[in-house]
Amino acid sequence: MLEIRPSCENCNKDLPYDSKEAMICTFECTFCKDCVADVLKHVCPNCGGNFCERPLRPANMLEKYPVATVRTYKPVN
C-alpha cells in the first residue's frame, strides 16, 4: 500500500492525495514534476532510480486507507 506522501521532498510543495503533479520512484520517494524535470533530471537522488506518476487514491478509500501526514524535506540544492 502506497503511503501517498503529502509533499515534495525537494521544495516542500504540497502534493495532496489527488495531485497529478506527484512523482514517485520505486521506494516511493516523492517529488513534484517540476523538481523531477528541472532539478533531479529524472533521477531519484536517494536511490538512483527513475520516476513515474503517483497513482491517485480514490476519495472513497481515504477513510479506510488514509494518506501519510509526515513530511520528508531534504532539498537537493
**Per-residue pLDDT at 77 exceeds 90:** no
Starting at the earlier edge strand, list the strands of the sheet with 22-24.
Answer: 30-32, 22-24, 52-53
Strands (E), the chain: 22-24, 30-32, 52-53
Q: Name the pLDDT band for 68 (thresholds 50, 70, 90).
A: very high
> Considering the entire predicted model, what is its pTM?
0.92
pLDDT of residue 73: 95
pLDDT tens column, 33-66 = 999 999 999 999 999 999 999 999 999 999 999 9
